Structure 1
Amino acid sequence: MDSHLSRPGPPLRALLPVRLIALGIVCGLAMAGLIARLAYLQLVIHPQLLQRSEGNRLRIVPIPASRGNVYDRKGRLLAGSRFSYSVTLHPTKLDKKSADEVYQRLEELLALPAEDIARKVAAAGFQSPYPIYLKRDVDDQTIAQLLENQTKFPGIGISQEAVRFYPHGRLAAHVLGYTGEITQKELETRAPKGYKSGDIMGKAGLERIYDETLRGQDGGTYMEVDARGRTIRQFKVEEPVQGTHLVLSVDFDLQKAAEKHLEGQKGAVIVMDVNTGEVLAMASKPDYDPNLFTGTISPKDWKEVQAQDHPFHNRALNAYPPGSTFKIVTTIAGAETGVVTPSSLWMSTGYLRIGGMVMHDHEAHGAVNIEQAFAYSVNTAYSEIGLRTGIGPIKLWADAFRLGTATGISLPGEADGHIPDRAWKKKYIKEDWYAGDSANSAIGQGFNQVTPLQAARMMVALGNGGDVLKPELVKSIRQPNGATKQMLKHEVQNHVTIKPLTMDMLNRGMIGSVKYGTSGILARPDIVVGAKTGTAQDPPRKDHAWMVALAPMHKPRIAIAVFVENGGWGASTAGPIAKTMIEVLIPPPKPPEAKKPVTP
């Protein structure tokens, strides 16, 4: 017998602990799996099943909140609400097998693509207890057809809700903006704030920036329904809460006048209060009627809107070369560095050659001092000032007025613009700075880019003693009951300290421009107005037209900037608009009535 066959094995009691441990591990794993499964069912599957169950028996009919109103500074309504019909679809009442047929019928009646309806239902899910908005602001005839053919449109609901209404149509369209249904992309970022599919939100202008303030809080009617979708009971009603109101700084009459006189042109008009920074008017043309977007805009209306030249661009916030309005900055820079004095003289022969570049005047003015050079807008004189002063001080003073920097106004889409210097040109143009660049910048040409709103903000600072104020559109936020919730504070973005002698030279130039220079259209017998015209090249198109102004000069109240895109000469195109703005706010004296002859 082999010795290994007779070797005794391990005793049974020695193997028992090992087997028990193995059995314990197996049982433990089984128990862990069971617990995990139960947790999965409880935490993941159960809520889904519960949602499906509740979706089958719970129906929520939303009661949308009315948006807050928007008023002008005197309480006149600019944006409100009106009631209209909306068509909704309850997914739980749809039969998946016949859903496509229903979508096709709805396409014919509502002029909505069937695939868009299917996409909305798929996104919400057939078990969603919430109705899906298909179309808002539906006409009475379509509503009547739906009611007469209810059996063909299972799940369709008709509700009456408040929709946005702009009583004055296009007036202040770029300030107010418009509303529309939230998109899936917008929902991804706004869902945590309580937004849901089908919600209406601001898409542009103040409607967008102040959307959370204006939108209010939706209510809803909670109903229990049976398997066929019939109402068993209504067990809860949450009333909607209207959004808060905005009171703007805009003056209705001034805004209306600005838009009327800008009609048919491309451009912008801004009028500001020099002491507060409040925007009294902001007009931009071409524009659009925000009422078109309240419901579903028709292809015809959309085509007409798009046929215009960028009607959604707020030209008050777009950047353009400032032309001779920039001579205000050059005057200050030259005077503060000692290059310009009251006794300085320049000889205007009609042109000035700088290297291979020739600067032209409208005419030869002969010897001119700084007041005359400003009033007549003598390019050759200001080119010489630019050459002697250098781009450094010019850039420094432009920066002090925050030219080339967005104002921070509560509107979307504001451009910065830029005031170039050596470093800027090297970085963006990849070229050195030449003498001609300094001459060009001094007269507001070359690479200079500012917005009309920035130009108005500069005039505000000149009118109030140096405070660069943030332009404000909203004066206050009010509760639906009329109580003031918040008063907006005025923000000083910078303070510009200018020597009295410099301001005296500049003021004389602006007054001279109106009395005998290029801004003569603003001359009035009752008040003194200061202004500067501007004509900025835009080859191969016509020049841009500018005018900036302060009134009255003894104690300025208003600052004005008018820009007309490809408008030609500033005095003839922008001037009449600026004149009207001043006349609306400071009416000229009425002529004395003719005395009636005395009858003997």
Structure 2
Amino acid sequence: MVDRRRVFLALMVLTGGFIGIAGRLFWIQVAAARDFTERGVDLVRNSVLQRQRGLVLDSGRGRFVDRYGEALTGEVRKGALVFPVRSGYDGGTEQKRKLFQLLHTDEVRWRAFVAGLKEPAWWSDERGEPAALTASEAAMLDELQLPNVRVAELTIRYPERMPASQLIGYVGRNPERIETVFRDQLERGQLHLDSEIGVSGLEKTFEPWLRSLGPTTISYFMDAGRRPLPGLDTRTVSAETAYYPLTVHTTLDAGLQRAIEQRMDKLGVSDGAVVVLDAATADVLAMASRPGYDPNDIDLGAGGWANRALAPTEPGSIFKTVIAAAALEKGVVRPNETFECAGELGKYGFRCWYKPGHGALTLEQAFAESCNITFAKVMMRLTADEVEATARKLGFLAPVGWHGRVRGSEWSQLDGEGKGQLFAAGTPRNDEGVLMQTAIGQRDVRVTPLQAANLVVTLLHGGEVLEPRVATKVALKDGKELETFPERKLIMQEDGISAATARKLLTWMREVVAYGTGTSLQQAIWPLAGKSGTAQVKAGGMPADNEWFIGYAPADKPKYAIAVLAANVPSGSANRALTLYKSVADFMAAGAGAKS
């Protein structure tokens, strides 16, 4: 007879074993799945991730708009988002035929595309960018109900040929800056060392307002066999709120900015800058820089990302405006006094650009004709300190862009703005030969195109120096103002040059066009005024010129202050600065006529 007690004990052991195995399986599959291995791998989460494929639609970063609300960054376009699925689960024959028509492709190209998919991807154009769908194409694609294709909106931070790319700048990874500047946010977990932040331009200076709360992503769910999971479909997740992301409202006119950049390229100005300021406020309407660059593909060595409009460079004869102002303020030139120009000074090898010589000239005439000899002789009556003091009163030798206390700290809107220079360290500033070269904007003198344009605004305001803005406010998503940047003055009128001197120089600028070095501008739509300049420089070891023209338009009722620089132009070339200045002014004149 079987020992019932032994059988009972055997059954208990077997039952206990099964319970132990089941318990262990439960622990592995459920209880411990969230932290099973030594590395703390979340098996439940990973099993979901294996069935989920996602893509970032929008980084969530704040955007820039121009003065009329046109987006400068963050172009939103509809595109076809394609998910990798197993062959046979990608739609029927008729669905795909219509798909090929909508995407302007064929079956061969489509199959080559989907065959290589490991992750979700955008159907792209010939440039490799997500192909934009029209509203009707997007609607028809939605109607197809393809299991592996979805219409989605993608935000492209930097669209092709984005205007003002150097001024706006770009984002990238900069762990060193995060550690030094954003240490608090790093410690709070709001930033990581590999986070993308503004590296240059307004992206850098406005970083505190632009930072993302999180991206908008779209996910697609599949089973282990890469088959779409019915009922789950796609899911979009966004970190946006009623208030974020924020918008920076710039002072730029996007249409004017594009027109200027197109004209620079057409005229072959491959190195230089154009700045257009509102004559009433000094607000920056356009700030163009060349060479250009692609903010989506940065080549740091090429240097195209640097903003030429904020970089100090040799000004040539536009600096004679400062010398003329100093001479008028100090009264070192008698009314109607004349100076003789025979083409050369007779020492230091100093010559006039006009080799035969201008003959007898007043300072007023010399300004119009840009006579080097006259300005050298006037400089002999001035000291280095007097010229420096006048330059400072006119807003030179210091950054002029909008700056002030914001949120308790000193802050500037412009990134890396140069301050200009009169004498380099170690230069004997009272040496007569040095002063002769300084008088014509050579040797150590450096000026930024922004300073040059703002000089014209200063004269138009009777000697009062304004601070050019590039942004007026930062707004919440609902349009309410979060931060504002009011108009500011760098130097009050009582601390600048006299209004009488400013008026006289403005008149002399009109004479430059009437009978001086700017007569070619007489063919412009508007009457124009300004001052020309040519600085001798070296480019690649070869003689070259920095060509300038600064002025205001229209001359009879000034609305704009303009500075044009065509840098490192081969010596002897046709003057591109004058041509570009006229082209920019004509564009604005035609636009003003269209609005009236």
Q: TM-score range by the shorter chain?
A: 0.5 to 0.7
CA distance in 1, matches of 2:259, 2:562: 14
**Correspondence for 1:313:** 306
Match of 1:166 among 150, 153, 158: 158
Q: Select the structure of larger CA radius of gyration.
A: 1
CA distance in 2, matches of 1:191, 1:432: 44
**Correspondence for 2:175:** 184
CA distance in 1, matches of 2:434, 2:70: 49
Deviation, 1:208, is 2.0
Does the residue aligned with 1:70 lie in a helix, a strand or coil?
Answer: strand
| Residues 121-144 of structure 1: CA deviation (Å, up to 9, x unaligned) | xxxxxxxxxxxxxxxxxx997886
CA distance in 2, matches of 1:429, 1:564: 29
Distance change in 2, residues 1:483/1:54 (3 Å):
farther
- Are the equivalent residues in 1 in contact too, given 2:61–2:211 (CA < 8 A)? yes
Deviation, 1:376, is 0.4
Gap regions ≥5 residues in structure 2: 1-34, 83-109, 121-149, 218-223, 225-236, 403-412
Does the residue aligned with 2:72 lie in a helix, a strand or coil?
Answer: strand
**Count of residues paired in the alignment:** 460
**Correspondence for 2:25:** none
Match of 1:205 among 179, 201, 205: 201
**Correspondence for 1:240:** 240
1:78 aligns with 2:69: no
**Correspondence for 2:134:** none
- Are the equivalent residues in 1 in contact too, given 2:533–2:549 (CA < 8 A)? yes
Identity %: 30
Does the residue aligned with 2:286 lie in a helix, a strand or coil?
Answer: strand
**Correspondence for 2:14:** none
**Correspondence for 2:455:** 458
**Correspondence for 2:344:** 351
Deviation, 1:51, is 12
CA distance in 1, matches of 2:114, 2:473: 40
Deviation, 1:146, is 5.1
Amino acid of the residue matched to residue 551 of structure 2? A
Distance change in 2, residues 1:498/1:416 (3 Å):
closer
1:274 aligns with 2:270: no
Match of 1:564 among 566, 581, 594: 566
Deviation, 1:201, is 2.5
Residues 393-402 or 469-478, more deviating? 469-478
CA distance in 1, matches of 2:358, 2:441: 20
Residues 521-530 or 479-488, more deviating? 521-530
Amino acid of the residue matched to residue 347 of structure 1? E
Amino acid of the residue matched to residue 412 of structure 1? D
- Are the equivalent residues in 2 in contact too, given 1:65–1:240 (CA < 8 A)? no
CA distance in 2, matches of 1:50, 1:84: 41
Distance change in 2, residues 1:571/1:381 (3 Å):
farther
Distance change in 2, residues 1:77/1:140 (3 Å):
farther
Does the residue aligned with 1:586 lie in a helix, a strand or coil?
Answer: helix
- Are the equivalent residues in 1 in contact too, given 2:525–2:586 (CA < 8 A)? no
**Correspondence for 2:332:** 339
**Correspondence for 2:482:** 485
1:419 aligns with 2:415: no
CA distance in 2, matches of 1:373, 1:167: 48
Does the residue aligned with 1:389 lie in a helix, a strand or coil?
Answer: coil
CA distance in 2, matches of 1:532, 1:148: 59
Distance change in 2, residues 1:586/1:62 (3 Å):
closer
Amino acid of the residue matched to residue 240 of structure 1? E
| Residues 376-421 of structure 1: CA deviation (Å, up to 9, x unaligned) | 001000001111122221111001122122224523232222112x
Distance change in 2, residues 1:179/1:51 (3 Å):
farther
Match of 2:434 among 433, 437, 444: 437
Distance change in 2, residues 1:144/1:201 (3 Å):
farther
Residues 197-206 or 410-419, more deviating? 197-206
Distance change in 2, residues 1:85/1:184 (3 Å):
farther
Deviation, 1:145, is 3.8
Distance change in 2, residues 1:448/1:478 (3 Å):
same
Deviation, 1:554, is 3.9
Deviation, 1:219, is 6.7
Does the residue aligned with 1:549 lie in a helix, a strand or coil?
Answer: strand
**Correspondence for 1:547:** 549
Deviation, 1:238, is 7.5
CA distance in 2, matches of 1:268, 1:526: 22
Amino acid of the residue matched to residue 317 of structure 2? S
- Are the equivalent residues in 1 in contact too, given 2:467–2:488 (CA < 8 A)? yes
**Correspondence for 1:394:** 387
Deviation, 1:217, is 0.9
1:196 aligns with 2:162: no
| Residues 41-71 of structure 1: CA deviation (Å, up to 9, x unaligned) | xxxxxxx999976967668999875222322
Does the residue aligned with 1:531 lie in a helix, a strand or coil?
Answer: strand
Does the residue aligned with 1:353 lie in a helix, a strand or coil?
Answer: coil
Distance change in 2, residues 1:391/1:571 (3 Å):
farther
Deviation, 1:163, is 5.0
Distance change in 2, residues 1:219/1:455 (3 Å):
closer
**Correspondence for 2:471:** 474
Distance change in 2, residues 1:366/1:483 (3 Å):
same
Match of 2:292 among 270, 287, 295: 287
Distance change in 2, residues 1:253/1:315 (3 Å):
same
Match of 2:367 among 365, 370, 374: 374
CA distance in 1, matches of 2:194, 2:463: 48
Distance change in 2, residues 1:210/1:404 (3 Å):
same
CA distance in 1, matches of 2:326, 2:155: 53
Does the residue aligned with 1:566 lie in a helix, a strand or coil?
Answer: strand
Deviation, 1:80, is 0.9
1:446 aligns with 2:438: no
Distance change in 2, residues 1:376/1:220 (3 Å):
closer
- Are the equivalent residues in 2 in contact too, given 1:361–1:380 (CA < 8 A)? no
Amino acid of the residue matched to residue 78 of structure 1? L
- Are the equivalent residues in 1 in contact too, given 2:62–2:212 (CA < 8 A)? yes
CA distance in 2, matches of 1:148, 1:316: 43
Distance change in 2, residues 1:463/1:571 (3 Å):
farther
Deviation, 1:507, is 2.5
Amino acid of the residue matched to residue 188 of structure 1? E
**Correspondence for 1:511:** 510
Residues 203-212 or 569-578, more deviating? 569-578
**Correspondence for 1:69:** 63
CA distance in 1, matches of 2:521, 2:71: 32
Deviation, 1:516, is 0.9
Does the residue aligned with 1:565 lie in a helix, a strand or coil?
Answer: strand
**Correspondence for 1:249:** 251
- Are the equivalent residues in 2 in contact too, given 1:176–1:205 (CA < 8 A)? yes
Amino acid of the residue matched to residue 392 of structure 1? D
- Are the equivalent residues in 1 in contact too, given 2:474–2:483 (CA < 8 A)? yes
| Residues 170-198 of structure 1: CA deviation (Å, up to 9, x unaligned) | 42110222223x34334434353211355
Distance change in 2, residues 1:50/1:270 (3 Å):
farther
**Correspondence for 1:584:** 587
CA distance in 1, matches of 2:451, 2:550: 11
Amino acid of the residue matched to residue 175 of structure 1? L
Does the residue aligned with 1:328 lie in a helix, a strand or coil?
Answer: helix
- Are the equivalent residues in 2 in contact too, given 1:535–1:570 (CA < 8 A)? no
**Correspondence for 1:537:** 536
Deviation, 1:358, is 2.2
- Are the equivalent residues in 1 in contact too, given 2:547–2:576 (CA < 8 A)? yes
Deviation, 1:502, is 2.6
CA distance in 2, matches of 1:459, 1:391: 23
Deviation, 1:311, is 1.3
- Are the equivalent residues in 2 in contact too, given 1:460–1:468 (CA < 8 A)? yes
- Are the equivalent residues in 2 in contact too, given 1:419–1:447 (CA < 8 A)? yes
- Are the equivalent residues in 2 in contact too, given 1:179–1:204 (CA < 8 A)? yes
Deviation, 1:526, is 6.9
CA distance in 2, matches of 1:140, 1:312: 39
Residues 429-438 or 204-213, more deviating? 429-438
**Correspondence for 1:100:** none
